[in-house]
Structures are given as structure tokens and as C-alpha cells.
Chains A and B, each alone.
Chain A
Amino acid sequence: MKLLETLLNGLSSGSTYAMIALGYTMVYGIAKMLNFAHGDVIMVGGYTLYVSAVMMGIHPLLALLLAIICCAVLGVTIEKLAYKPLRGASPLAVLITAIGMSYLLQSVAQMIFGSADRMVRLFDLGRITVGSMQISTYTIITLACSAVIMAGLSLFVKYTRIGRAMIAVSEDKDAAQLMGINVNFIITITFAIGSALAAFAGFFMVLKSPPVNSTLGAMPGIKAFTAAVIGGIGSIPGAMLGGILMGIVESFAQTNPVIAPFTVAIEFSILIVILLVRPSGILGKKRREKV
């Protein structure tokens, strides 16, 4: 029973990671860059929830909608201001700009809200007892929501015009452009979707633990990024798999008091081991450089 509980907890935090990892992976697939600022978009989502739901007293679900819109707009703005001018420049330059952007968002948030934690209590979620097992409602909500979102996203990419255009752009940007796909538009959409997913992740994180501060997204961001790489960056199912794997490892490690302090070390060691065995991640595809 204890085992099942841990597994469920792992699945729910794993699906939060998966949400964030999806953002990383989609942006990587389309724009071929690591959006280091992605984790901080979660933080902006958290603060939006704080401002709307706690300060202004809007209904939490409406607040979530607001957070999604805010994050999507923010994601697109970041892309337009910081990344678009660098399209075609050295990838290293883009990566460093992304790191700078992450810093910028954190500093701005800290300037506006200070360094103290802000409490965001949205719902009073109880616990459900199934047999001898106690499951928090949060776990179930997270699992259900993320399952729906991920299924929706997969269908969207597979079956809609825009989704197929996304695959085309990720395969070959120039060829896609020649085929009449508006590459700029597709990149914008990708950033919007990725950031909206980050807002969802922020919502789940706030449900789990209310305090919000300017580094809310930093560590989950790095972990989710790790998850995306483990799953094979650029691959949507890979991001889901990696995220859930990460969550389960984390939750099992934390139940054991001896290895609990080393959770982070264990997670990152798994990353290194997996990359050494399969350099492109579990589901990633390897492409050789043409000679």
C-alpha cells in the first residue's frame, strides 16, 4: 500500500515535470534552442495566480486561465525580443541569452514582490481514503489534468494543420518555408503552447505547496530539462516519459531517510548514466553529421 502511494505521488509530481519538459522539448524541436528561461515562466505563472486569486480574489479557475494567457504572452514576448534577433547566430550565443533572460525574469520578480514567500492557497483540498490508502486530492487532479493535456497535445501535433506544420519546421526549417509554411508563426505558436503548459505546471505546483518566490521555477525547471534530455530532447513522448521517470525516482528516493538527502545527486546521476549509454536520450533519435 505504501508502495502504491509512493508511486502515485511520483506519478503526479512526474506529470508536473512532464508538463514543463514538454515546453523545453517543443521549443528545442522547433526553434533548436534550449529555452533556459522556461523554468522562470512557471514562476511568473505562480505570481499571476497570486495577484489574481489572492490579491484580487478572482475565482481560482479564472485565475488559472489568466495565468495561462499571461505566460503565453510572456513566452512569445521573450521569443520576439531576445531570441528572434539571434536566429541564425551561433547557438552558444542564443543559449547564453536564454540564461540571461532567466536571470532577468527572476530579478524583475524579486524587485516587484520582494524576496519573501507569498502564500497562494487556491483550494482547500482534502484527502481521499481508498481502502487503507490515503491519497491527496491534489495527486488525482494533477494526474487527470495532465493526462488530458498530454493526450490533447499529442493529438494536436499529429492531426491538426498547425501541428503537422510544427513537425515540418522541426525537420527542416528552410524546406518548410519553401513549402509555404510561415515559420515565424509556427515558432510563436510553439512558444505560446510551451509557456501555457508552464502555467499549468505552475498551477499544479502551487496546489501542492502554496509558497511562491522568485526562484520557484528554477530547480523544477532544471529537473524538467534533465527529464526532457533523459527522454530524448525533441521528442514529445520522450519528454512525458522522462518527466514521469524523474517524478517516480524522486518520490521513491524521498521515502528512504538514508538516501533522501541525495535525491538531487541521484536524479542527475541517472541523467549522466543514461546519456552515456544512449547519447540522444531514451526516445531521442540520433542524427549523424553529414560528411
Chain B
Amino acid sequence: MAETVLKIENLGISFGGLKAVQGLNMEIREKELYGLVGPNGAGKTTVFNMITGVYKPTTGKFYLCGEDLTGKSQETINHKGIARTFQNIRLFNNMTVVRNVMVGLHNQPEYKCGLFTSMLRLPRHFKVEKKMREHAKQILEVVGLLEERNNLACNLPYGKQRKLEIARALATNPKLLCLDEPAAGMNPHETQELMDIIRLIREKFNVTILLIEHDMKFVSGLCDEITVLNFGTVLAQGDTKTALQDPEVVKAYIGG
């Protein structure tokens, strides 16, 4: 059995009286592709927001590789190794593609460069910048955006913007990569391509992936295990095929 990367224990949050998520337990093992599915408003993005530190959970805890990260700030959680993308794309629009990725590389220890080194433009500054750019290009190559590297991020088409978000998150060298609806707004061809990229990323970067998706074909084709949420509670959990055939899940999706 591979090592557990993310462990969620009884996680819950309420906004006012509304219990957005409650009693969530999950365990994601190393190099797993884990899916979080559920109808609109089921609380999937809220789970993401909790495990990346945007919201502080009201109950429960979560652990990354055994370390309790509950209630830590977004920055700390990112440093510890959870990176995410956003459902509504949030790129640095006034920057070029390659620079977007370089922002992701900002905190990597090998690219440490003090403030005064930068202000005085000491040789280390140039060395670091060059290495960062090379590294960023490598990441862009994996997601297939190398050609676009000098375009402004806001000029990219929608599908490529999503890929750039993935590249930027990868640049922070995460143990766990959280993708929030990566295939939203993509056509079938692009979706297929994205599935290949996600598999490639898992192999190349040795990263565990947690993703939210609506497209059932995408989920069943990609994920090893899933958790199905509805109204903030777990409907079914486990191996993708079995979980999707669970009568509760079918009911929630198809109705009746």
C-alpha cells in the first residue's frame, strides 16, 4: 500500500446557518488520481477552499503526509505542498505565459535570491533568472504551451488558460495538485488531450492529483478513486466504477 498523502478527518464548514460541508472523511494515497464529484452546489469547491487555506474549517482536520495543516494560511499550505487551480480562471493577466509560471517557481529553494541581490543586480540575480526561465519552459513544454510562452496570459484561448493554471500550480512543486474543473469549457478533443496531459504530469512530476469534475466520462476515464458529494455530505466513496453505480449517486444525478 502506498503512503497516504492527504488525510481528511471529519471536515466541515458552515456559513451562517448553512452547513456547506459536513463530516467529510477522505484518504488519498501517493500518486493516486482522486476525483471529487457531485452536482452543482454540493460543496466541492468549498472542500478545495478549505484544504488550500482560503476558508478555515469549522470542524475537523486535514493532514498532508501526516502533518496537520488545518487553519494554516494559504501561503504556508502552498509551501507545505498543496497547489491548486481555480474554477474561474485567475491568471496574472498582464504577464506573459512564461512569467506566470515563474511566479509559481518563486519560492523554490534553489531559486532563492535576496532582495538586495536583486536590487543591485549581482551576478546571482541573472543566474537565478536564467535558471528559472529554463525551468518554467520545461514545465510549459509538458502542458504543451511552450510555443505560447511570450504571449500575454489574457490573450490565450480558454483551454490554454486552463493548462497555464495547471502549469503555474505545478511550478510550486506540490505533493498534491488540486484541479478545480480542469475540463470546464473544453471541447471533446481538448478534453481528451487534457486527460493525457494529466496522466503525463502524474508520471513526470511524481505528484498526487485531486480533481473536481462534472464530466462523468472524464472522471471514469481518469480517476482511480472518487468521493461523491451532495449537499455537503458524502454519498458514496471508493473505487470509481463501484461508486458511480451506487444507487444513491444515480438518484442524485438522474433524479427520481
Contact = CB atoms under 8 A, between A and B. Distances in A.
B49 interface: yes
A20 to B, nearest CB: 34
Interface in B2-54: 45, 49, 54
B86 interface: yes
A290 B45 CA distance: 11
Interface string A261-291: 0000000000000000000000000000011
Contacts of A291: 45, 49, 54, 86
Interface residue SS majority, chain B: loop
A177 B49 CA distance: 32
Nearest to B52: A291
B131 to A, nearest CB: 32
Contacts of B54: 291
Contacts of B86: 291
A290 B20 CA distance: 14
Nearest to A290: B88
A79 to B, nearest CB: 29
Interface string B53-78: 01000000000000000000000000
A291 B54 CA distance: 8
Contacts of B88: 290
A290 B87 CA distance: 11
A291 B86 CA distance: 7
A290 B54 CA distance: 10
Nearest to B15: A288
A108 B241 CA distance: 75
A290 B86 CA distance: 11
B94 to A, nearest CB: 12
A290 B88 CA distance: 10
A7 to B, nearest CB: 38
A291 B45 CA distance: 8
Contacts of A290: 88
A291 B87 CA distance: 8
Interface in B85-101: 86, 88
Nearest to B46: A291
A290 to B, nearest CB: 8
Contacts of B45: 291
A225 B86 CA distance: 36
A290 B46 CA distance: 10
A101 to B, nearest CB: 28
A15 B54 CA distance: 41
Nearest to A289: B54
Contacts of B49: 291
Nearest to B86: A291
B36 to A, nearest CB: 16
A89 to B, nearest CB: 15
A247 B1 CA distance: 70
B53 to A, nearest CB: 11
B84 to A, nearest CB: 10
Nearest to B180: A291
A28 to B, nearest CB: 25
A211 B229 CA distance: 69
A250 B228 CA distance: 60
A270 to B, nearest CB: 30
A291 B88 CA distance: 8
Interface string A185-220: 000000000000000000000000000000000000
A286 B88 CA distance: 22
A144 to B, nearest CB: 40
Interface in A132-174: none
A255 B154 CA distance: 58
Interface string A226-257: 00000000000000000000000000000000
Interface in A83-100: none
A173 B34 CA distance: 39
A291 B51 CA distance: 13
B246 to A, nearest CB: 30
A92 to B, nearest CB: 14
A56 to B, nearest CB: 55
Interface string B86-130: 101000000000000000000000000000000000000000000
A226 B49 CA distance: 34
5 contacts: A290-B88, A291-B45, A291-B49, A291-B54, A291-B86
5 smallest CB-CB distances across A and B, nearest first, come from: A291-B54, A291-B49, A291-B86, A291-B45, A290-B88
